[in-house]
Chain A
Amino acid sequence: MSDRGNEKSGIDPARRRFLTDTLRTVVGVGLVALTLGVYQRQARALPATTIRPPGAGEEEDFQSKCIRCGLCVRDCPYDTLKLAELGDEVALGTPYFEARSVPCEMCDDIPCVKACPTGALDPALTKIGEARMGLAVVVDQEACIAFQGLRCEVCFNVCPVRGDAITLNYQHNTRSGKHAFFIPVVHSNACTGCGKCEKACILEEAAIKVFPIALAKGMLGKHYRLGWEQKARAGEALVSPDTPHEYNLPDGMSYEHGGRGLIINEEAGGAAAPAPQPFSSNPLDTLNRKGGL
């Protein structure tokens, strides 16, 4: 930049330099900030096999509170929790675990939550059974041997919330015709996402896996109403009144749908007159009956 050039433009060289420097700094820092912003959006996408410690809540909220100090990792007595290193897909320095390697042992005193200085792991969580780290999903029904009609039930049996988080649904085995399928079914109202089922699954690649809840849960459209729930709440059908169905039955008979079924002779005045039976007790009567069978 020659002096003559500056004279031409009429700008004081010191001022020009100041403006150039400031502009360059602002643009540079702006680019860094923008890159950082984009990078952190990516870092928010949690890989499917990555489970946060108990009490972590939603990923967005967690990442605004976690200061990446690793105190939860230090206080985890089973070395379940790890701190994401540079190169891992998880946001750098944040705690996570992978159920298939080391699942959460669900300590009663929840030391990881107690260790958290910022409340990123919610201190209100005092009962580990209420933790929702993730949700187990039977992801591969083709590989799970229960769906082949084989007895396994390992996931059901290792579950720390046994009988609540995973139940067995008995279904008829149509292949053999005489056996039952023992189908594992996960219930989100009890599953803590500890991952013991995924760890214990006997397959080479687990057929039941724990995913972050946001990934595992479907959601019914908010406008949906389930008729029977609405009916139970209101005490009557809301759309149109229930009309009793009328059946065309012989005298002395009625039918209660969804209840007792066929009711014979209940209102005919008791035992006074035995009702005429549609079929005689004597088989000869049928044989001797006139007309076709």
Chain B
Amino acid sequence: MAVPERPGAESIRVHGWWYAHRYLILRRASQLLVLALFLLGPWFGVWLVKGNLASSLTLDVLPLSDPLVLLQVFASGSVPATAALIGGVIVLVFYLLVGGRVYCSWVCPINIVTDAAEWLRRRLGIKGGAHLSDKTRYWLLGGILLVAAISGSVAWELINPVSMVFRGLVFGMGLAWGVVAAVFLLDLFVGRRAWCGHLCPVGAFYGLLGEGAVLRVSAVDREQCDDCMDCFAVCPEHQVIRPALKGADKGLGPVITSGHCTNCGRCIDVCGRDVFVFTTRFNKEPRRAVAGANPKSEVSS
């Protein structure tokens, strides 16, 4: 099966460029907005949000903390104070609902780097690379918790590119640009989606959180699929699409239930036939409930 070099061409023709990039644009806006909120303080003296993604305080009332970092604190044998715990629970509940890896595609700054690497990789036609198991991330997740437990220190945060880059942008990069470059080159040459899809233990953790998420992408109109492979080409975790899109014979529902799905919505963007929509995991109807929910596609088809 050939993967298209420029996926989404049909969608652009049918829907127009903006509509065929709507979730991508929204995601970039979301990622930049989160960053901007943190930078308003240090750059312009408007302190809406203080801290960084590890832990923050919004408007001096709302604490938010990264549950994975707190898990490392627990593993290292300490108990964080109440403020951090409350913040951690709020974040935990949020991602349990919307899907853990929403963090990856809508918040994480590294996502922009790896998306850029993936785009360039496709355009340059770079194929193959090292064979990495996508289970490696779970081993790494276990590994970092083990190191925290043995060393009694939040050790992973010494090298975690995800927190390092965001903290760097907000507080000062130092040599962290080198880490950004390393992740970019890793994804460009070593393997497709090598970091986010195979190695990143942060993503692995949020993936586990997202196993039961309410907000999901669903291939509601999967009978419309013409096997153009565009969604497979753009999906950062393309193994999650097949069961939902092609699983009708095996009696599988159209909802993408895997926790690995980042809810990035790129499959919805690039599909010229409007197969995919955002819905809840409980909506198991294979067809759209309301015909003509997407008037634009009707006009163009």
Contacts and interface: CB of A to CB of B under 8 A. Distances in A.
Interface of A: 21-22, 25-26, 28-30, 32-33, 36-37, 39-41, 43-44, 60-61, 63-71, 73-75, 82-88, 91-93, 115-119, 123
B167 A83 contact: yes
B80 A39 contact: no
Given A33-B143, A33-B144, A70-B51, A65 B167 contact: no
Interface stretch (B96-104, B149-157, B261-269): B149-157
A85 B69 contact: no
A86 B54 CA distance: 16
A13 to B, nearest CB: 15
Contacts of B41: 74
Given A68-B157, A118-B55, 14 more contacts: A36-B158, A37-B151, A40-B155, A68-B69, A70-B167, A71-B51, A83-B172, A85-B176, A86-B173, A86-B175, A92-B157, A92-B158, A117-B87, A118-B78
B140 A37 contact: no
Contact of B154 (A25, A33, A67, A71): A67
Instruction: Give the top 9 A-B pairs by smallest Cβ distance, nearest first.
Output: A85-B174, A69-B55, A119-B81, A40-B155, A118-B80, A117-B84, A87-B175, A64-B76, A33-B143
Contacts of B81: 116-119, 123
Most buried by B among A36, A41, A73: A36
30 contacts: A21-B133, A29-B139, A29-B142, A36-B159, A37-B147, A37-B151, A37-B155, A39-B158, A40-B153, A64-B78, A65-B154, A67-B54, A67-B80, A68-B54, A68-B167, A69-B54, A70-B51, A70-B167, A70-B171, A83-B171, A91-B158, A92-B157, A92-B159, A117-B55, A117-B65, A117-B83, A118-B70, A118-B73, A118-B81, A123-B81
Contact of A40 (B66, B158, B164): B158
A115 B78 CA distance: 18
B125 interface: no
Nearest to B49: A74
A292 B239 CA distance: 120
Contact of B50 (A66, A71, A85, A118): A71
B201 to A, nearest CB: 10
A68 B76 CA distance: 15
Contacts of B133: 21-22, 25
A60 B150 CA distance: 12
B135 A118 contact: no
A29 B168 CA distance: 26
Contacts of A22: 133
B154 A64 contact: yes
Nearest to B142: A29
Nearest to B88: A117
B147 A65 contact: no
Given A28-B136, A40-B153, A67 B159 contact: no
Interface of B: 41, 47, 50-52, 54-57, 63, 65-66, 69-70, 73, 76-81, 83-84, 87, 131, 133, 135-136, 139-140, 142-144, 146-147, 150-159, 163-164, 167-168, 170-176, 178-179
Contacts of A67: 54-55, 65-66, 69-70, 73, 80, 84, 154, 157
Nearest to B141: A29
Contacts of A117: 55, 57, 63, 65, 80-81, 83-84, 87
Contact of B174 (A21, A43, A87): A87
Contacts of A84: 174
A22 B69 CA distance: 27
A29 B51 contact: no
B272 to A, nearest CB: 37
B140 A32 contact: yes
A74 B41 CA distance: 9
Contacts of B70: 67, 118
B168 A74 contact: no
A43 to B, nearest CB: 6
A70 B159 contact: no
B143 A30 contact: yes
Contacts of B78: 61, 64-65, 118
A43 B158 contact: yes
A75 B50 contact: yes
Contacts of B139: 25-26, 29
A32 B176 contact: no
Given A85-B174, A117-B63, A117-B87, A36 B147 contact: yes
Given A36-B144, A67-B65, A85 B159 contact: no
A40 B157 CA distance: 10
Nearest to A29: B139
Contacts of B83: 117-118
A10 to B, nearest CB: 24
